[in-house]
Structure formats: structure tokens, C-alpha cells
């Protein structure tokens, strides 16, 4: 929340990433494929959706609500930012557009966001609708129940064929504390029935700062179980953290069906220089085998709302079926890339030239301009044998053709002329065997600046 407040400037992410990449040997196939946080040097309240091919990140800023689209999860920081909405359009509220949430519902895309008329007491949830995540969007109106109380951080989830709206709000008309509420939905704009209180900040670890806060709820599911990851304590404090609600009954509207974690499940790490980690965005890796979360945090203590940046980290799972978030990684820690995501500049290469590229995932790419050029991606893992989609992101000033070799079987990939710095994506459906595979991209005709590739199941 409070996305419109000024933020402390940081060095561009590309410089951080390039400093690391330049120190690694580009031909070492055994070298781990890694990235470093932050994804966005300045940002907050990340909401991300993977549509089966691309990642879409929605953010609010002083100029409105924007969307970034990237082939890779870790490339969102280099993706072009497109402003899709500004306050006051189509009779929408003018001010303080907070924490937009991107939701796919059928064949439409919705952005749920909080806004007011300049007075915080009037913050309510509103929704936009479009046929594409990058718009154009139409204002659909306010999302509120009969009580019409203060509300922010709304999201939508489905359970047993029914859809629900989940948000943070006040019990009454005064700012005493922020609770988590859930209600049935009749359609993307209309709530169906009264709200149910499922969490309030009643534990000491949720009560740092006043007013006491539960906010930023997000739904995480696995193996038929449903969890709500939420943010606790004041977002302006260093002790902002993530809590966890576990659904133990069958009725999400019954407060007795929810069990709260005994403490923060993701908290500050002074030794690593991470403060106030919170407000999750939850998403799968490209191949669907891993769970990841995006969150915002501060690098320095006492920074409040002024120093937040957006980071990414993998979620693993405990033996009892609950998510394990671990500790937040610092900027000096290299993290493995999401499964199914590969950077060309980190692959084994022969004859190619590495180039810095502002809009490339990871800030760099490699140039192939001769038939002898090779970029070899090893340890491309498939959970089971079958058809997969390989998407290659590249730029080509003129029409070009490359060869994609998959375990010894060749596929032609054509790249239309689009400009030397204008990256586009080409998709090829290929067979993969269970376990490890080797993919090699080689030059045939023309010059290509190869950025990255992803591997996703063809049935998704």
C-alpha cells in the first residue's frame, strides 16, 4: 500500500546483474544458472500472473497503474513498462491507487485496486476489465458489500467451483485495525452475501506499529490444500512480515476453518540486510514444477515506504504439506533461476559474442552471426516424456533463420526483421525425454541476438 509515496533511488538492476555476469566464464556448462535480487530496484506490492507463456507484473506508481510482460520471471525488471490506467478516467476515483492485483477470469483480465477521492477514509476496492493484460481497460466500478467499509488489497480465488473475494479492511468506519475478510462473488464486480472475518492482528508479531495490520492476502494451493499468505504488522516498520493461514475445514466463510501460523513465516534478516519483507505475489516457474513468490523489502533499516524494491524467491514445501519460505535472500546472494528458464549469456557457447542489452532478460544477450556459432543449454529437465514448447527470445535486424537441436533432432526457427534491439519471441513444439535434455541453438542464415529461452509443457 501507499504506492504513491516517494522512494529512495537505487542503482539500476541491469548494472548489478552485469557486474555478476561479467565475472563468470561464458563457456562453463557446469556453472550454476543464477540471478540476483532485486528484480525491480524500486517497487512495491507485486502482483504477477503467468499465462502459460509470459509473466505479467502489475504495479502502481505516481503516473498510474502499469503492466510489464516478460518471457522470463527474472526478466520482469528489464521488461517495458506500459501505463494501462490513470486515476480519474471514466469517472473512476482520482487518487492514491494502491496495490493493483491482476486476475484472469475466463477469457478476460481484471485489475482490482484500491483508490480514494483524496481522503484515506474513503479508500475502496475498484476493478478494471480488458481482453489483454496490457489493455485497453474499461472501468467496471466499485467492489463492495452492503456495509461498504474501507478496503484495500483485494484479490480473487476459486474453491470447489465457487469464486471468492479476499481483502483487507476496517471493521467499522474508523481506522482501529486492518482485518482480513472474504465474501462470495456473483460476478467479477459483485459480491454475493456478507463478508466473513477470517483473521485479525491478535498476535504480538502482528502488532508492530499502530494501527495493527493484516493486509496483502494471497492464495496458495497445493495438493488440494489452500493457504492464505498475508502481511502482518505495519508496512512502514522493519518488522513487516508474512503470516500464513491454513484452511482446515471445508467452508472458507467459516472463521473456525482457518488456522494461523505461530509466528512470521518470512521475516526480516538483519545479517543479510533485508528489512520489512512482505506483500506477496505468487506464481509458478515456467515448467510448472516450482512455486515462487515476489515480495517487496528494504535494504536499510528505518527506510519505511521510501526504500522498497521487488525481489523473487522460491517457495519449497515441508513434509506436513505446508509452504516453507526460508529466509529472504540479500542482494549479494546468487539464486538458481526458476526451473524451465534459461539465459543465453549463461549457457555454454562457441563463437558467439556476449552483448549488454538494456531490454534483455538479465541485461545481456549473445550474438549468433555464423553457421559455426553455438549456444548449448544443458540440464534442461522434463518431469516426464512428452511435448513441450520452447520459446526463444531474440532480436534480429533482418530476417534470419537459426537451428534448434533437441537431443539430436533439428528444428528450424525463423526470426522476422524487427530491429537490432526489438526483442520478440518464437515458439517451437518439441519432444523431450524424461529427465535431462540438451538444447543447442546454432546459426544458419542472418544475425540474431539471442536473449533467453523457456520450456513449458505443451498442454498448459
Mean pLDDT of the chain: 92
Q: Is 45 considered catalytic here?
A: yes
Question: Quick check: 20 pLDDT over 70?
Answer: no
Rounded mean pLDDT, 311-325: 98
Question: Quick check: 297 pLDDT over 60?
Answer: yes
Give the rounded percent of residues in the chain with a pLDDT score beyond 90.
90
Are 367 and 53 spatial neighbours (Cβ–Cβ below 8 Å)? no
Cα gap 369→411, rounded to integer Å: 18
Domain spans, the chain = 13-336, 341-457
Cα gap 427→450, rounded to integer Å: 14
Are 458 and 429 spatial neighbours (Cβ–Cβ below 8 Å)? yes
Rounded mean pLDDT, 9-15: 34
CA dist 274 → 37, 268, 325 (Å): 11, 6, 14
DSSP H or E stretch at residue 15: helix 13-22
What the block records as the C-alpha cell of 130 is 480488458
Cα gap 44→236, rounded to integer Å: 12
pLDDT band (50, 70, 90) for residue 29: very low
Question: Quick check: 16 pLDDT over 50?
Answer: no
What is the per-residue pLDDT for 419? 74
Q: List, for residues 259-277, the tens digit of each pLDDT value.
A: 999 999 999 999 999 999 9
pLDDT band (50, 70, 90) for residue 8: very low
Rounded mean pLDDT, 349-374: 94
Return the beta strands (E) in 299-385 as ranges: 308-317, 323-324, 335-336, 341-343, 348-350, 353-356, 364-368, 374-382
Residue 253: CB atoms within 10 A of its CB come to 16
Instruction: Sheet with 55-61: list strands edge to edge.
Output: 47-50, 55-61, 64-70, 81-85
Are 230 and 218 spatial neighbours (Cβ–Cβ below 8 Å)? yes
Rounded mean pLDDT, 56-73: 97
Question: Quick check: 308 pLDDT over 70?
Answer: yes
Rounded to 5 degrees, φ, ψ at 280 are -75, 150
What is the per-residue pLDDT for 460? 60
Cα gap 144→247, rounded to integer Å: 24
What is the per-residue pLDDT for 281? 97
Q: Nearest Cα to 222, choosing from 357, 320, 97?
A: 320
What is the per-residue pLDDT for 459? 80
Query: Which of the 8 DSSP states describes residue 204?
Result: G
Rounded to 5 degrees, φ, ψ at 260 are -95, 145
User: CA-based angle 53:59:183, to the nearest 5?
Assistant: 85
What is the per-residue pLDDT for 341? 98
pLDDT band (50, 70, 90) for residue 31: low
CA dist 182 → 157, 166, 389, 406, 407 (Å): 10, 4, 37, 48, 49
Rounded mean pLDDT, 112-135: 98
What is the per-residue pLDDT for 410? 97
What is the per-residue pLDDT for 148? 97
Which residues, in sequence order, are bridge partners of residue 196?
Answer: 182
Question: Quick check: 26 pLDDT over 60?
Answer: no
pLDDT band (50, 70, 90) for residue 421: confident
Q: What is the DSSP string of 269-284?
A: BTTTTBEEEEEEEEEE
Q: Is 412 considered catalytic here?
A: no
Q: List, for residues 136-180, the tens digit of each pLDDT value.
A: 999 999 999 999 999 999 999 999 999 999 999 999 999 999 999
The matching CATH number, chosen from 2.60.40.10, 1.10.15.40, 2.60.120.260, 1.20.120.790, for 341-457 is: 2.60.120.260
Rounded mean pLDDT, 69-97: 97
pLDDT band (50, 70, 90) for residue 76: very high
Q: List, for residues 38-54, the tens digit of each pLDDT value.
A: 999 999 999 999 999 99
Rounded mean pLDDT, 25-49: 81
Q: How many CA atoms lie within 13 A of 290 on its CB side?
A: 21
Return the beta strands (E) in 63-123 as ranges: 64-70, 81-85, 95-105, 108-116
Question: Quick check: 13 pLDDT over 60?
Answer: no
User: SS3 for 297?
Assistant: strand
Q: Of 101, 116, 215, 345, which one is the catalytic site residue?
A: 215
Q: List, for residues 376-418, the tens digit of each pLDDT value.
A: 999 999 999 999 999 999 999 999 999 999 999 999 999 999 8
Which residues, in sequence order, are bridge partners of residue 124?
Answer: 115
Rounded mean pLDDT, 250-263: 97
The class level of CATH for 13-336 reads mainly beta
Q: List, for residues 195-218, the tens digit of each pLDDT value.
A: 999 999 999 999 999 999 999 999
What is the per-residue pLDDT for 11? 35
Amino acid at each position: 500500500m501507499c504506492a504513491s509515496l516517494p522512494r529512495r533511488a537505487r542503482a539500476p538492476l541491469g548494472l548489478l546483474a552485469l557486474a555478476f555476469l561479467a565475472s563468470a566464464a561464458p563457456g562453463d556448462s557446469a556453472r550454476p544458472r543464477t540471478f540476483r535480487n532485486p528484480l525491480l530496484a524500486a517497487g512495491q506490492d507485486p502482483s504477477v500472473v503467468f499465462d502459460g507463456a509470459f509473466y505479467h507484473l502489475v504495479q502502481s506508481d505516481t503516473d498510474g497503474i502499469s503492466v510489464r510482460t516478460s518471457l522470463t520471471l527474472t526478466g520482469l525488471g528489464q521488461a517495458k513498462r506500459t501505463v494501462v490506467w490513470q486515476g480519474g478516467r471514466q469517472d473512476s476515483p482520482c487518487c492514491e491507487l494502491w496495490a493493483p492485483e491482476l486476475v484472469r477470469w475466463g477469457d478476460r483480465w481484471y485489475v482490482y485496486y484500491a483508490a480514494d477521492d483524496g481522503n484515506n477514509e474513503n479508500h475502496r476496492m475498484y476493478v478494471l476489465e480488458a481482453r489483454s493484460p496490457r489493455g485497453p481497460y474499461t472501468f467496471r466500478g466499485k467492489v463492495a458489500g452492503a456495509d461498504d467499509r474501507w478496503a484495500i488489497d483485494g484479490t480473487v480465488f476459486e474453491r470447489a467451483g465457487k469464486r471468492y473475494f479476499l481483502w483487507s479492511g476496517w471493521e467499522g468506519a474508523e481506522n482501529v485495525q486492518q482485518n482480513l475478510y472474504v465474501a462470495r462473488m456473483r460476478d467479477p464486480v459483485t459480491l454475493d452475501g456478507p463478508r466473513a472475518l477470517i483473521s485479525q492482528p491478535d498476535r504480538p508479531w502482528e502488532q508492530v506499529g499502530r494501527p495493527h495490520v493484516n493486509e496483502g492476502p494471497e492464495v496458495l494451493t497445493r495438493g488440494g490444500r489452500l493457504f492464505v499468505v498475508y502481511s502482518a504488522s505495519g508496512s512502514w516498520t522493519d518488522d513487516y512480515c508474512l503470516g500464513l493461514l491454513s484452511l482446515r475445514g471445508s467452508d472458507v466463510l467459516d472463521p473456525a476453518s482457518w488456522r494461523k501460523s505461530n509466528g512470521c513465516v518470512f521475516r526480516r534478516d538483519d545479517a543479510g540486510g533485508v528489512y520489512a519483507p512482505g506483500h506477496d505475489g505468487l506464481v509458478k516457474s515456467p515448467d510448472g514444477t516450482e512455486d515462487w513468490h515476489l515480495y517487496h523489502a528494504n535494504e536499510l533499516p528505518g527506510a519505511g515506504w521510501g526504500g522498497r524494491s521487488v525481489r523473487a524467491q522460491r517457495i519449497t514445501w515441508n513434509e506436513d504439506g505446508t509452504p516453507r519460505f526460508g529466509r529472504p535472500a540479500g542482494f549479494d546472494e546468487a539464486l538458481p533461476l526458476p526451473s524451465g528458464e534459461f539465459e543465453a549469456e549463461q549457457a555454454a557457447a562457441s563463437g558467439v559474442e556476449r552483448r549488454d542489452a538494456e531490454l534483455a532478460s538479465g541485461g545481456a544477450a549473445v550474438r549468433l552471426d555464423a553457421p559455426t556459432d553455438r549456444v548449448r543449454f544443458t540440464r534442461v529437465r522434463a518431469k516426464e516424456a512428452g511435448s513441450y514448447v520452447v520459446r526463444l527470445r531474440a532480436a534480429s535486424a533482418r530476417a534470419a533463420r537459426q537451428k534448434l537441436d533437441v537431443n539430436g533432432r533439428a528444428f528450424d526457427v525463423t526470426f522476422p526483421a524487427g530491429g537490432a534491439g526489438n526483442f520478440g519471441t518464437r515458439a517451437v513444439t518439441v519432444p523431450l525425454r524424461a529427465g535431462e535434455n540438451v538444447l543447442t541453438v546454432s546459426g544458419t542464415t542472418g544475425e540474431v541476438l539471442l536473449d533467453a529461452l523457456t520450456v513449458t509443457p505443451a498442454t498448459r
